Structure formats: structure tokens, C-alpha cells
Amino acid sequence: MRVWRSIGKSLQQFALPLFLLGLGCLVVVPATIEGLLRQPALSATADRPSTSSKLTAWDVFSPSGGDSIGWLEVTYPESTKLNEEPGISVRYVAREGEWRRSAPSGEGSVGSQALTQMSVHVQAANLTVAPEPRQYNFDLERIGTTGSDGHSWTVTPQKEGSYRLLLNFDVQPDSYTTRIRVNENVVPTSDGALQLPVQVNTIYNVPQAWVDLGTNSAYVLGFLLTLPLLTKIFERYSDRKKRTPRKPVR
């Protein structure tokens, strides 16, 4: 206890300079951190747009086998920032010769073997996907006419971190099969969905934990540096209060 009291008395000799230094930590350091984040070097990094990845996610096969009748292309944001709203888009591309045998028009198909529906559904946690609905039913007639059909949503991140978009693809009737094309980044789930990784960074592409550590450390240090002067003021006030004689009660 004596050691701490001795240290406390020594610090009180420099109470005013320490107090001013503490105020600097409380006010100047957080503003300096914010200013450093706005430096040209970091601003150039912040101006980098989101990076997107395009992949062929699924191949679709008819009951008769052979080559695929088409494939589903997916473009999604691999990385983005909190101030951006990148998009995820899906596009079905038909293999012309194979598609005609499976077309809903019945050309080259037999009854229930004709393709009746293709749909894709996207969902995510901590990522807002809009607009609703999050399921899109592909226009089979348009695919037969133009060879493709697609849809897109915007993805709005809520906070920094690593997330995954979950994509489900359904083809009807069940006699049609799909095959996932897997790479090192896209991971299929046990129920046949795809997990698409999305990295969300802060506006300046600096981890928020680093910014919070710097500012919070400055606040704590600033508070500790102001304690000697505040303690000295409190002690003087207490001593003055003790010395002030009480007025007698009549």
C-alpha cells in the first residue's frame, strides 16, 4: 500500500501535464485514427470495388442421359464493403440441341418427361437479399426462344465478417437430375445446396477490431492520465470541507 501511495504522490506532482496529455488521448488520438484512415493510400484501397466471382454451379441432365441440356451460371460478390450493395445474379443457359428434346412445348419429349419447372432460391444470415421473393422461377419459354433466362438480387451487408450465401436449385420433374460443379471456394451442403463465401470489410478495408482497439485504448489511457489531477482536486475539496466550521444550530 505504501508503494502505491508513494507512486500516487509522485504522479500528483505532474498532475496538470498528465491531465493535458489525457485530454489529448481522449480527443486527439481518435480523431488522428480517423484522419489516418482517410489518407490517400487507404482511400485508394477503399475505392476498390467489390470483387465478384462467376461460376457454372449446376449442370442439368434429362432422363434420357447424354450431354447436359444446360447449366446454371452464378455471379456473386466474393468481397464487399459495408457501404456497398453488390448483386448476386443467376442465369440458366440452354444447350440448344439437348434443350429442344426436353422443352415444355413437347418437341421431342414424351408426356411427363418434359421439363416443367426450374427455380433457384437464395438466402443468407446477416446479409439482406432484395427484392422479395428470394425464389425465382425461370421462364422456360424464354429459354426456348432466346437460349437463356436470368434474375438478380442486391446483397446488403449488415456488419463486417465472413458470411455465406446459400443457393438452392430445383428442377422438375424429379426424373431430371442436376450435378454440382465444385471448386475449392464453393462448398455444397448435405442437401445439395451451394454455400457461396462472401467477405464483408469496413469502408476503408481495415478490420473494425483494429480501429476499436486503437480508439478504446486511447480512451482508457486518457482516463487514467486524468486521474491524478482529479484526485488532487477531490482531496483539496474534501480538506476544505473538513476545515469549514459548522454553524451552531440555534
Q: Please report which confidence band the pLDDT of residue 108 belongs to, taking 50, 70 and 90 as the band edges.
A: very low
DSSP assignment of 174-196 equals TTSEEEE---SS-EE-TTS-EEE
HEC readout, 19-80? HHHHHHHHHHHHHHHHHHHCCHHHHHHHCCCCEEEEEEEEEEECCCCCCCCEEEEEEEEEEE
Identify the residue with better confidence: 41 or 24. Answer: 24
User: What's the pLDDT at 227?
Assistant: 64
Q: Euclidean distance between the first and final Cα of the chain, in Å?
A: 44
Q: How far apart are the C-alpha atoms of 149 and 4, rounded to whole Å?
A: 75
The region of weakest confidence among 66-75, 83-92, 144-153, 212-221 is: 212-221
Q: Could you tell me the three cell numbers for 235?
A: 482531496
Per-residue pLDDT, 249:
53
pLDDT over 70, % of the chain: 53
Cα 40 to Cα 31: distance, rounded to the nearest angstrom: 16
pLDDT score, position 148: 93
Q: In the structure grid, which three cell numbers stand for residue 200, read together?
A: 464483408
The pLDDT value given to residue 44: 45
| Res. 89: pLDDT tops 70 | yes
Instruction: Please give the distance of CA 89 from its chain centroid, rounded to a whole number.
Output: 18
How many Å apart are CA 189 and CA 239, to the nearest integer? Answer: 72
User: What's the pLDDT score for residue 24?
Assistant: 65
Q: One-letter amino acid identity for 186? A: V
Rounded distance between C-alpha atoms, residue 42 and residue 30, angstroms: 17
- Gap between the Cα atoms of 15 and 20, Å rounded: 9
Range ranked top by mean pLDDT from 31-35, 51-55, 58-62, 69-73:
69-73
Number of residues that this document lists for the chain? 250
Q: What is the CA radius of gyration of the chain?
A: 32
The whole-number average pLDDT for the span 59-67 is: 81
List 59's β-bridge partners, or say none.
Answer: 71, 179
Q: Report pLDDT digits (tens) over 188-204.
A: 777 778 888 898 887 76
Comparing 183 with 180, the larger pLDDT belongs to 180
Please provide the DSSP assignment of 79-105 as one string. Answer: EEETT---EEEEEEEE-HHHHHHH-TT
Residue 160's pLDDT is what?
84
Fold of 50-199: Immunoglobulin-like (2.60.40)
In this predicted structure, what is the pLDDT of residue 112?
47
pTM equals 0.64
State phi, psi for 77 to the nearest 5 degrees.
-80, 120
Return the pLDDT at 41. Answer: 44
What residue ranges of the chain are covered by domains with CATH 2.60.40.10? 50-199
Q: Which of 75, 77, 67 is nearest to 120 (CA)?
A: 75
* Pair 171, 117: CB distance under 8 Å: yes
Q: Which residue has the cell 480501429?
A: 211
